[in-house]
Structure 1
Amino acid sequence: MKAIHLPGILAMAAIVVASNILVQYLFGQWLTWGAFTYPLAFLVTDVMNRVYGPEAARRVVVAGFVTGVLCSVVGTQIHGEFGPLVTIRIAIGSGLAFLTAQLLDVAVFDRLREGRWWRAPLASTLIGSTVDTALFFTIAFSGALSVIEPGNDVSWAGEMLPLLGLGPVVPLWVSLAFADWMVKLSLALIALVPFRMIVGFLTARTT
């Protein structure tokens, strides 16, 4: 690990820790506060990829994954009103979704890096965010995967309700996933501004 990569690693670790804490607090009916901090992980990955290259970005992703695993281990030991704060399904879903989505982000960004400046970060984040949401919510809450942790009752997530209270009737976890996905897509667009600014600042320092 190079010293110049340390700020990116620390930023990723801070985002993962903050998101693991904030996910415990609801924001409205369909979201948690963690939904607004977690997408910043894609911003960190993309900045590192643009300035230092894909290998540096992958190191940051690994650091974030390790931090997430440690947070999950701690979460399994903390018991709330309904049991452990982090169940086995949530731990597996979180880790697998993070690693898959972030590495996919790195690969897509690297493939598109020669295009217009906004193309690589936007496309890689949109694709990575979609995969992240689909993997996490399916593994953590889908009734079809209850075999992963038979003792964990997630029947509440399968309650059939209108999508976000308005659309077709779907399992509750689908509404939660859809709301999370929309936040990620919105932040992917907003993050282009700090991406441009941070890349410009770091590039100026390294030249």
Structure 2
Amino acid sequence: MKHHLLPGILAMAAIVVASNILVQFLFGQWLTWGAFTYPLAFLVTDVMNRVYGRDAARRVVFAGFVVGLACSFIGTQISGEFGPLVTLRIALGSAVAFLTAQLLDIAVFNRLREGAWWRAPMVSSLIGSTVDTALFFTIAFSASLAVLEPGNDVSWANEILPLLGVGPAVPLWMSLALADWMVKLALALLTLVPFRIIVRSLMHRAT
């Protein structure tokens, strides 16, 4: 393994592990604490892409994907109040969403890398975050995909309630997805500052 990839791989692994743990703890009515750590994966991917290039970013993403699979497997072996902490649908949704969104982030970033410094990380993270949220919550909780795991009762996630408590009546999982998506968008903007600082620091060391 090339030594310059190690910090990125360790950072990505730490984010994935922390998010898998923190997703078990609620933050308010619509979020979990994991919603605030997981979006940092896009920061790691974008920093690696900017400093070391597309291939390095992909290697870091695939390392994070493997760690995520391991976390999901462990979660399936741990029983909580309502059954396994991680169901097949959650594991599948997490894996598909992570890999698709992160690779899309890399592709979009690469297309925009020659523009203003902030454009590539901002646009790629916004697009990747949107795809990530849509894929995960749909695969994990939508009643239309119950065939993926017939024995998994997700009726609680499909209870019809006002969107975020104030909007039109929709399945609960859509409110959870919207809240998660809004946090991702906010962090995509806020992490532009550490992105700039970290990239400058790494570029300076390289010279």
TM-score of the aligned structures, taking structure 1 as reference length: 1.00
Q: Which residue of 2 aligns with 1:92?
A: 92
Q: Does 1:117 align with 2:117?
A: yes
Aligned amino acid, residue 5 of structure 2: H
Instruction: Give the Å deviation of 1:93.
Output: 0.1
Q: Which residue of 1 aligns with 2:197?
A: 197
Aligned length: 207
- Distance in 2 (CA, whole Å) between partners of 1:72 and 1:185 is 25
- Distance in 2 (CA, whole Å) between partners of 1:161 and 1:80 is 25
- Distance in 2 (CA, whole Å) between partners of 1:152 and 1:32 is 21
Q: Which residue of 2 aligns with 1:63?
A: 63
Instruction: Give the Å deviation of 1:73.
Output: 0.3
Instruction: Give the Å deviation of 1:64.
Output: 0.4
- Distance in 1 (CA, whole Å) between partners of 2:158 and 2:22 is 23
Q: Which residue of 2 aligns with 1:178?
A: 178
Q: Does 1:33 align with 2:33?
A: yes
Q: Which residue of 1 aligns with 2:144?
A: 144
Aligned amino acid, residue 109 of structure 1: F
Aligned amino acid, residue 89 of structure 2: R
TM-score of the aligned structures, taking structure 2 as reference length: 1.00
Alignment of 1:6-21 (within 5 A): 6-21=6-21
Instruction: Give the Å deviation of 1:4.
Output: 0.8
Equivalent position SS for 1:170: strand
- Distance in 2 (CA, whole Å) between partners of 1:104 and 1:24 is 27
- Residues 16-48 of structure 1: per-residue CA shift (max 9 Å, x gap): 000000000000000000000000000000000
- Residues 177-203 of structure 1: per-residue CA shift (max 9 Å, x gap): 000000000000000000000000000
Equivalent position SS for 2:153: coil
Q: Does 1:163 align with 2:129?
A: no
- Residues 89-113 of structure 1: per-residue CA shift (max 9 Å, x gap): 0000000000000000000000100
Instruction: Give the Å deviation of 1:117.
Output: 0.2
- Distance in 1 (CA, whole Å) between partners of 2:40 and 2:13 is 11
Equivalent position SS for 2:170: strand
Equivalent position SS for 1:47: helix
Aligned amino acid, residue 160 of structure 1: I
Percent identity for Structure 1 against Structure 2: 80
Q: Where has structure 1 moved over 4 Å in runs of 4 or more?
A: none
Equivalent position SS for 1:153: coil
Gaps of 5+ in 2: none
Q: Does 1:187 align with 2:187?
A: yes
